[in-house]
Amino acid sequence: MHEQLAPATRAVALGRPPREPGAPVNHGVAFTSTYVAGGEVSYARTSNPTWEALEEVLGSLEGGSALTFASGMAAVTAAVSLVPVGGVVVAPRHVYNGTTGLLDEMERAGALTARRVDAEDTDAIVTAAEGADVLLLESPTNPMMEVTDVEAVVRGLRERYADARPVVVCDNTFATPLAQQPLAWGADVVVHSATKYLSGHSDTLLGATVVAPERADLLERLHTHRNLHGAIPGPMEAWLVLRGIRTLHLRLERAQATARELVARLDGHPAVERVRYPGFGGMLSVEVAGGEAGAEAVCAAVRLWTHSTSLGGVESQIERRRRHPLEVATVPVNLLRLSAGVEDVEDLWADLAQALP
């Protein structure tokens, strides 16, 4: 029955206790480390009822089987564990800087080889994937807002390599399952930093993988990875993200409307050299006049926008990404990443306009 419901309805209706007279409408936070012997699960590193409620909702929205992790990076690490020792991973040049850092670190340790590609060049991605074990996509990319044609990439991989194609992983943090479902385009695994839009309130860290229904083998491997490496979420964190997902569609609708309005006003503004916006979602990047100092000055001058890292919260956030040493050098020094929140758009614009040089 639930497959026929719209995503917004599933975000609200799934992950609830059975409807019985007197039953609570929300799952509790299952604070337990172990279970009475004789049941399906014996220890809480393997599973937890609060995770399962969240996994039911997220799995339904993405169209696969979800596993929750301690953070987005724990989920990315689990996905990268699908690369065998000495194997090859292909990834866009601009992805979340933690992912870049992880691949660099593993490459230095001799664990894998990472091939970098242009996220928007379908042919280059398919060509680079020859003999690769995992293709780790992220679309739109953080913070350059490049968009990969995931469907065309998967088609190209199937045509060229058939069964020898790499496992396709797609970080769907920026888009959220409401904007795109990479599994429907043929990706094998979706990765999330639920810390961002899914949670939506900048109050918790959590990550997730979602595996395509036909890849039970990968689900099994990721589950084993979670169980043995132990990067599990706390039940309270899972509960907070589940609570956040209930309003994901409302928050995203507002964030997107605001982002579009800001893009229209920033485009052509004398202090703005370039606006990057993928055309959907609540994230945008702008390159401002005055180089690094000009960008830093904007961050120091905003009063309503929060100068902070992270994104996808109800409060609007702004950040110069190159302030992080891990950020790749091809990200412009004057690039500011903006995460539109759910405040009034005129207040947000007024604050931004007074902060621009």
- Residues serving a catalytic function are 45, 96, 171, 196
Give me the least distance between CB of 172 and ligand PLP, in Å please.
8
Residue 96 touches ligand PLP, criterion: CB under 6 A: yes
- Residue with smaller CB distance to ligand PLP, 173 or 306: 173
**ω into 140 cis (within 30 of 0):** yes
Of 26 and 310, the one with the shorter C-beta distance to ligand PLP is 310
Contact with ligand PLP (CB under 6 A): which of 62, 133, 146, 171?
171
Nearest to 163 by CA among 115, 217, 225, 117: 217
Query: Measured at the alpha carbon of residue 324, what is the angle toward residues 321 and 125, in degrees to the nearest 5?
Result: 65
Q: Is 64 helix (H, G, I), strand (E, B) or coil?
A: coil
98 interacts with ligand PLP by CB under 6 A: yes
- State the nearest-atom distance from the C-beta of 296 to ligand PLP, in Å: 22
Tokens 């990765």 — which residue? 191
Contacting ligand PLP (CB under 6 A), which of 68, 77, 122, 142?
142
Backbone angles phi, psi at 257, to 5 degrees: -60, -40
Residue 240 contacts residue 199 (beta carbons within 8 Å): yes
Three-state DSSP state, 130: coil
Does 146 engage in binding with ligand PLP (CB under 6 A)?
Answer: no
| DSSP-derived secondary structure for 152-208 | HHHHHHHHHHGGGPPEEEEE-TTT-TTT--GGGGT-SEEEEETTTTTT-SSS---EE
Number of residues near ligand PLP (by CB under 6 A): 16
Q: Decide: is 195 part of the binding site for ligand PLP (CB under 6 A).
A: yes
Q: Which of 122, 148, 173, 258 binds ligand PLP (CB under 6 A)?
A: 173
Nearest to 144 by CA among 100, 85, 82, 86: 100
Q: Out of 15, 186, 207, 341, point to the residue binding ligand PLP (CB under 6 A).
A: 207
Q: Considering only 19-27, 69-77, 81-89, 125-133, which stretch makes contact with ligand PLP by CB under 6 A? A: 69-77
Among 15, 59, 64, 72, binds ligand PLP (CB under 6 A): 72
Q: Which of 193, 258, 316, 334 binds ligand PLP (CB under 6 A)?
A: 193
Instruction: Report the residue number, 76 or 80, with the smaller CB distance to ligand PLP.
Output: 76
Q: Which of 30, 150, 205, 355 touches ligand PLP (CB under 6 A)?
A: 205
- 193, 311, 273, 203: which is closest to 321 by C-alpha? 311
129 binds ligand PLP (CB under 6 A): no
Minimum distance, C-beta of residue 162 to ligand PLP, in the bound complex (Å): 30
Choose which of 55, 56, 133, 138 interacts with ligand PLP (CB under 6 A): 138
Give per-residue burial for 245-275: e unless 16+ CB within 10 Å, then b.
bebbbebbebbbebbbebbeebeeeeebbeb
Is 71 a binder of ligand PLP (CB under 6 A)? yes
The Cα 69–Cα 230 span in angstroms is 9
3-state secondary structure of 239: helix
Q: How far is the CB of 209 from ligand PLP (least distance, A)?
A: 12
The per-type count for the chain, helices as H runs and strands as E runs, is 11, 12
Taking CB under 6 A as the rule, does residue 196 contact ligand PLP?
A: yes
Q: Is 180 in the site for ligand PLP (CB under 6 A)?
A: no
148, amino acid identity:
T
Chain residues binding ligand PLP by CB under 6 A are: 71-73, 76, 96, 98, 138, 142, 171, 173-174, 193, 195-196, 205, 207
